Amino acid sequence: MVTLVTPHGEYGGPVRVAVNQARSLRSAGWDVVLVGAHRGWGSTGPPTKVDGVPTMLWPARTLVPGAGFAGVGSPGLWRWVRRHARDFDVVHVHLARDLVTLPAAWLVRRLGVPYVLQTHGMVDATSNPLAVPLDAAMTRPVLRSAGRVLHLTLEELHGLQQVVPSGLRTAVLHNGVPLPSDPAGGGSRTVLYLARLAPRKRPGAFVEAARVLASRHPDVEFVMVGPDEGEGAAVKEAIRQAVAGGARVSWTGAVAPENTEAAMRQACSYVLPAVDEPYPMSVLEAMALSLPVLVTDSCGLAPAIARAGAGIVVDASQESLVEALDRLLSDPVAAAAMGIRGRALVQQEMDMAEVADRLSNTYIEVISPG
């Protein structure tokens, strides 16, 4: 179960993770259905399959205006869960503090159906006053009763423990990605940012790096791909100023999830200036294609990237971002070697078959405890 499925993948990583898991679980013999809310499909209606995975999607409704994804709900999904949750052996909820997955998980709990939660770093301590009654009524009971709460990193576990200090049945589960049959071709001089234009992603830092590096690398094009999540106007103005100064930087808007690989194949490196990224799927996908990656030290993948030499890890300063990107662009041979090591890292440690095997064991334990 996921929060929101849209044509351009605005909800980002959790949906990609769920689809990858579902595909691998189906290959392992499980009968899997992806359920959630949908928005933006127009007169054609939502898909009945996503990447070959059967889906059951209900209209999303904005129940709390101005709250972003947290204010999205789906009464149709709640009704379906109430009627059909007991048809399933186990329910895997990609949980956030929203009004789609949280009420649905609460219903699954009330119905006595075994369930697993995966929070993607989205459930931790918060000062939002709206979260206080929500946590008391739903978040804490749902977390405490889960057969397993899956987390990516120790930081995510600590965040969960700030919400529920003890009693959680937790387990580590790393994200994985399918390994493309062939890596990106190389030879490009395009630097790619592929993420939502949201404050935490720091898209403005990418544009500023393009502006600073324009004179040193006049042959390089800086391309931004992703939906506007609040930073679009500022990014457009920054791009206008950078282009006036000679930079080759552009924002192409959002693309459908199935088209992100094509965008990556046109790049020579992938840059995600975001802070506090738990385990970004886009970085895994870039490494799987042999692209060298550039991330900040608060990214959950930073230790693995540094250990494998799969890219460059920087602090959150603009200066370190510019310096690291300059290094990648100035030495294509070294950058290509980083990309090769990144693909090997994904193949060795982030294989989807292993993820499916661990999930299968988890489900069996939750369905038949003891």
Q: Give the pLDDT confidence score for residue 64 in this predicted structure.
A: 85
Range scoring the smallest mean pLDDT among 7-11, 30-34, 87-91, 174-178: 7-11
For 171-189, the pLDDT digits (tens) are: 999 889 989 989 997 778 9
In a domain, 222, yes or no: yes
Question: Which CATH number fits the domain that encloses residue 278?
Answer: 3.40.50.2000
Q: What percent of the chain has pLDDT over 70?
A: 100
Nearest to 238 by CA among 230, 228, 250: 250
User: Does one domain contain both 162 and 207?
Assistant: no
Picking from 361, 358, 353, 346, the residue whose alpha carbon sits closest to that of residue 28 is 353
pLDDT surpassing 70 at residue 220: yes
Three-state DSSP at 80 gives: helix
Q: Which string of DSSP letters, residue by residue, matches 293-321?
A: EEEETTSTTHHHHHHHT-EEEE-S-HHHH
Residue 360 is predicted with a pLDDT of 97
CA distance linking residue 316 with residue 274, whole number of Å: 8
- The answer to whether residues 207 and 144 belong to one domain is no
pLDDT for residue 141: 96
Distance of alpha carbon 25 from alpha carbon 32, whole angstroms: 7
Range of the domain at 285: 190-349
Both 96 and 118 in a single domain?
Answer: yes
Residue 196 shares a structural domain with residue 311? yes
Contacts of 86 (CB under 8 A, 6+ apart): 111, 112, 113
> 370: pLDDT confidence band, cut at 50, 70 and 90?
low
| 211 and 170 fall within a common domain | no
Q: How does residue 71 score in pLDDT terms, banded at 50, 70 and 90?
A: confident
Q: Rounded to the nearest 5°, which phi and psi values hold at 260?
A: -70, -35
Sign of CA dihedral 180, 186, 188, 190: positive
Instruction: Give the pLDDT of residue 275.
Output: 96
pLDDT at 9 (0 to 100): 79
| pLDDT given at position 273 | 98
Find all residues with CB under 8 Å of 40, minimum gap 6, and list them: 6, 7, 8, 10
| Residue type at position 250 | S
In 3D space, the residue among 61, 58, 88 whose CA is nearest the CA of residue 76 turns out to be 58
Dump pLDDT digits (tens) for 27-58.
Answer: 999 999 999 999 999 888 999 999 999 999 99
Amino acid at 301: L
Better pLDDT: 322 or 9: 322
Q: Are residue 127 and residue 229 in the same domain, yes or no? A: no
Contact 221, 248 (CB under 8 A): yes
> How many domains would you assign to the chain?
2
What confidence score (pLDDT) does residue 365 get?
97
